[in-house]
Amino acid sequence: MKSTQYSEKVLDHFRNPRNVGVIENPDGYGKVGNPVCGDLMEIFIKVKKNDKGEEIIEDIKFRTFGCGSAVATSSMVTEMAKGMKVDDAYKITRSDVAEELDGLPPIKMHCSNLAADALKAAIDNYRKGTEPFVEASHSCTTEIKVILGLEEFKGKGVYMKVDDLAKLKDKRVLIVDTGDKSIELALKLTEYTGRVILLTSSKTLPGSDDLKKKLKSSDVKVIFQSEILEIKGTDEVEKVLIHDFDEDENYELFIDSVVILD
Amino acid sequence: MGIYLDYQAAKPVDERVLKEMLPYFNDKFANPASLHGDGDIATEALEKSREKVANFINAPNPADIIFTSGATESNNLALIGAANFYKKKGNHIIISEIEHISILNIAKYLERQGFKVSRVQVDQYGIVRVDKLKKLINDETILISISTASNEVGSIQPMEEISEIAQKSGILLHSDVIPSESSIPINVQDIPFDLVSLSSNDIYGPRGIGALYIKKGVRVKPIIIGGGQERGLRSGSENMPGIVGFAAAAELMKKEIKEESNRLKKFRDKLIDKILELIPNSYLNGHPEKRLPHNAHFRFDFIEGESLILSLKDYGIAAATGSACSSKTLEPSHTLIAMGLLHQEAHGSLLISMGRFTKEKDIERLIEVLPGIVKKLRILSPLTPPELLKKYEVK
């Protein structure tokens, strides 16, 4: 079955998604998925007690990055859960959502039917705690750990300082955030190449307020909450292995140069 | 039919081509192998067609053209056929990281047969790194296979340089020219390719027919064994309607290619300029100048490609994406990853490919609706930063 062979209901929820948005100060917040895999979903809930003292989902909102079925399942689960008892909403399963949508293509069942999981995460968050947001468990560190291949590729694509920016012209450059100097370098390098990536362990934009502002409007691509594990190549740098500690996942990225300022 | 902007996936058969093909389904149905008069008519049509296809790529001898069932078979015959013939000479083959899936999978197959395959890297624009290619060559290298352009991001490869390197080292050069077949004239005497894969559908001929150009003196072992048609290199009774259609398409394309690519280049540049201007956080994938006239490949931050395609569908516009969510394997495009894009960037890509029947108003319509679609999906997306939402005037 083609990925685009969606039921009319799926298409309707994709075209006109219900309950899109954010609830400020929600009672529960759930986030599942990973943009690397192509799906990320968040659900916000507001809970109140009815006359009988039962907990009811009074309001629910979502935001989704993903394919047609990811959007449709998010929209559907919010529609199903709105006004429901929290206990009942907790029991909504992936297949309940798929069924309500008159089915999903088989290939989409496992990857994008995350909506029920996001709702569960939001309810768990509501029940467990005072903190409505799940914070990343990792603290940010600027300490550079051992990087495999670092010594081997020094001068062959790995640079600890850059005197002549022109030698990085048109190269794909990955700069490790080691403070404001590295950010300034990243910004300057955008005049020499279209591909500058800043890798930071921080969760938000690093650097001084001024640099943050400049980064925001620049062409520097920032990778957050990550570190380099290994530098790979035959004679020169070809790829880096990156560890994303928010998702606890490793992946390879094709690049030409790595800059780690001393 | 709505607005079709997915020409890299499939092209319609030109009416003029179809007209030439029709008699060969019934009136002139005979087998060229037959000795009777009807067989002679078929033989004549077969050889006339071979001449036309040879002429299309300026091949010196019509006999250098071997008809196959299409691009995939041509690639199989070229790579497996040459590897098997020359395996005593060496067991090393070089392809690029961004070859068509058929080449990638044939290379994997050859690896399982004991051949060694190197995949040369590309730069951020999807252009093969010639310096790296040189370094990959060794005494065992028998074949380099690099396509003239990327069928996805449209980057045009430095074939002159690559061919020079191959010649100097005495290595065979194969090229799958299909991505550029409808927009860049091919002249195998200017750039001395040894093997060239051609497809009929990619020049508005029927599907199920293609060819492999084999330079005189270059040898391949057949992969299909049977009655010994096509100089024993490709057995099976000739697909006469297909061959006649392919030849008619090649003749037309040769005549119209320049005018057509100039026309499409104008549309392409207008589309790229407008989209990058109208949509914030949008980027062009591939090289800004060294790109196919009919190709525009974008990426939009914070949104996913399948959602884009579905939304365009509602406006009657057909296009493609490199997003994992739209592929059978759920992996993002290998080309975009090899160029150094992150997975989440590859997910937000949009491939627009134009062709012979694309009109200026089609492109104008796309420019009109795309910014709104991107905006709608970004408002939905949790990845969209607040500053951008503010720009969209959303609280």
* pLDDT band with cut points at 50, 70 and 90 for residue A1: very low
- Residue B343 sits in a domain of what CATH number? 3.90.1150.10
Q: Is A67 one of the catalytic residues?
A: no
Query: Does residue A29 belong to the interface with chain B, where contact is any CB pair within 8 Å?
Result: no
Of A15, A37, A65, the CB nearest to B381: A65
Q: Which of B230-244, B254-268, B327-341, B363-377 has the lowest mean pLDDT?
A: B327-341
Chain pair A-B, CB pairs under 8 angstroms = 109
Contact A119, A81 (CB under 8 A): yes
Q: Each residue of A55-74: b (16+ CB within 10 Å) or e?
A: bbbebbbbbbbbbbbbbbbb
Phi, psi of A158 (to 5 degrees): -105, 125
Q: Closest approach of chain B CAs to the CA of A54, in angstroms?
A: 31
- B371 CB contacts (<8 Å, ≥6 apart)? B275, B278, B279
- A88 CB contacts (<8 Å, ≥6 apart)? none
The label of the residue with tokens 């969510």 reads B325
Q: How far apart are CA A204 and CA A192, in angstroms?
A: 25
Q: How far apart are CA A85 and CA A44, in angstroms?
A: 15
* pLDDT band with cut points at 50, 70 and 90 for residue A139: very low
* Residue A148 DSSP symbol: B
Nearest alpha carbon to residue B314 among B270, B365, B354, B274: B365
Q: What is the mean pLDDT of residues B181-201?
A: 96
Is B6 among the domain residues? Answer: no
Of B304, B307, B339, the CB nearest to A254: B339
The verdict on a CB contact (< 8 Å) between B307 and A112 is: no
* 3-state SS, residue B15: helix
Options A1, A37, A107, A136, the catalytic residue: A37
Last residue of a domain, one of B254, B276, B307: B254
- 119-138 in chain B: CB under 8 A from chain A: 121, 123-124, 135
Of A3, A216, A234, the CB nearest to B326: A3
Fold classified for A8-128: Sufe protein. Chain: A (3.90.1010)
Q: Closest approach of chain B CAs to the CA of A21, in angstroms?
A: 7
Q: How far apart are CA A82 and CA A59, in angstroms?
A: 6
Q: Closest approach of chain B CAs to the CA of A85, in angstroms?
A: 26
Query: Does residue A37 belong to the interface with chain B, where contact is any CB pair within 8 Å?
Result: yes
Is B90 among the domain residues? Answer: yes
- What pLDDT sits at residue A136? 33
Q: How far apart are the first and last CA of chain A?
A: 54
DSSP E strands, chain B: 3-4, 65-68, 92-96, 116-120, 141-145, 172-176, 195-199, 210-214, 282-284, 295-300, 317-318, 349-353
**Residue B231 zone, left/alpha/beta (φ > 0; ψ -120 to 50; rest):** left
* Residue A21 DSSP symbol: S
Residue B282 and residue B175 share a domain: no
Antiparallel, parallel or unpaired: β A237-244 and A249-254: antiparallel
Q: Compare all CA atoms of chain A with the CA of B336 and give the residue at the minimum distance.
A: A254
Query: Does residue B300 register a pLDDT over 90?
Result: yes
Give the count of domains, chain B.
2
Of B124, B324, B383, the CB nearest to A172: B124
- A191 CB contacts (<8 Å, ≥6 apart)? A165
* Residue B32 DSSP symbol: T
Q: List the single best residue of A5, A24, A61, A67 to mutate versus B (max B Cβ within 10 A).
A: A67
- What pLDDT sits at residue B327? 64
Measured between beta carbons, the chain A residues lying within 8 angstroms of B97 are 254
Q: How far apart are CA B65 and CA B123, in angstroms?
A: 33
Q: Which of A171-185, B61-75, B171-185 has the lowest mean pLDDT?
A: A171-185
Q: Which residues sit opposite A56 in a β-bridge? A: A48, A85
Q: How far apart are CA A31 and CA A135, in angstroms?
A: 11
Is B274 among the domain residues? Answer: yes
Query: Does residue A193 belong to the interface with chain B, where contact is any CB pair within 8 Å?
Result: yes
The verdict on a CB contact (< 8 Å) between A41 and B328 is: no
Q: How far apart are CA B135 and CA A234, in angstroms?
A: 10
Measured between beta carbons, the chain B residues lying within 8 angstroms of A11 are 310
Residue B275 and residue B224 share a domain: no
Is B277 among the domain residues? Answer: yes
Last residue of a domain, one of B206, B239, B254: B254
The verdict on a CB contact (< 8 Å) between A67 and B326 is: yes
Residue B310 and residue B327 share a domain: yes
Query: Does residue B47 register a pLDDT over 90?
Result: yes
Q: List the single best residue of B121, B325, B327, B347 to mutate versus A (max A Cβ within 10 A).
A: B325
Q: Compare all CA atoms of chain A with the CA of B302 and give the residue at the minimum distance.
A: A65
Q: Compare all CA atoms of chain A with the CA of B321 and give the residue at the minimum distance.
A: A67
- What pLDDT sits at residue A201? 87
* 3-state SS, residue B386: helix
Q: How far apart are CA B144 and CA B79, in angstroms?
A: 9
Query: Does residue A2 register a pLDDT over 60?
Result: no
Residue B245 and residue B289 share a domain: no
- What pLDDT sits at residue A134? 41
Which range, A22-36, A109-123, A168-182, B134-148, is most confident? B134-148
Nearest alpha carbon to residue B14 among B202, B295, B238, B212: B202
Q: Closest approach of chain B CAs to the CA of A38, in angstroms?
A: 6
* Residue extents of the structural domains in chain A: 8-128, 158-259
- pLDDT tens profile B341-387: 998 899 999 999 999 999 999 999 999 999 999 999 999 999 999 88
Is B94 among the domain residues? Answer: yes
- What pLDDT sits at residue A145? 60
Q: How far apart are CA B59 and CA B186, in angstroms?
A: 9
Residue B111 and residue B235 share a domain: yes
Residue B340 and residue B368 share a domain: yes
Residue B327 and residue B196 share a domain: no
- What pLDDT sits at residue A111? 59
Query: Does residue A197 register a pLDDT over 70?
Result: yes
Q: How far apart are CA A227 and CA A241, in angstroms?
A: 9
Contact B9, B320 (CB under 8 A): yes
Element (H, E) at B361: helix B360-380
Last residue of a domain, one of B228, B254, B280: B254
Q: List the single best residue of A2, A3, A220 to mutate versus B (max B Cβ within 10 A).
A: A3
Instruction: Provide the annotated active-site residues of B.
Output: 325
Residue B276 and residue B314 share a domain: yes
The verdict on a CB contact (< 8 Å) between A15 and B314 is: yes
The verdict on a CB contact (< 8 Å) between B121 and A234 is: no
Residue B175 and residue B312 share a domain: no
Query: Does residue B395 belong to the interface with chain A, where contact is any CB pair within 8 Å?
Result: no
Residue B380 and residue B235 share a domain: no
CA dihedral B264, B338, B96, A3 (to 10 degrees): -70
> In the CATH scheme, what is the code of domain A158-259?
3.50.50.60
Contact B339, B126 (CB under 8 A): yes
Is B3 among the domain residues? Answer: no
What are B185's two structure tokens? 């004239």
Q: How far apart are CA B340 and CA A27, in angstroms?
A: 40
Is B4 among the domain residues? Answer: no
Residue B331 and residue B201 share a domain: no
Nearest alpha carbon to residue B321 among B289, B353, B275, B363: B353
Is B9 among the domain residues? Answer: no
Q: How far apart are CA B81 and CA B220, in angstroms?
A: 4
- pLDDT tens profile B99-132: 999 999 999 999 999 999 999 999 999 999 999 9
- Residue B214 sits in a domain of what CATH number? 3.40.640.10
The domain of B169 spans 15-254
Q: Closest approach of chain B CAs to the CA of A117, in angstroms?
A: 16
Options A11, A67, A111, A162, the catalytic residue: A111
Residue B182 and residue B48 share a domain: yes
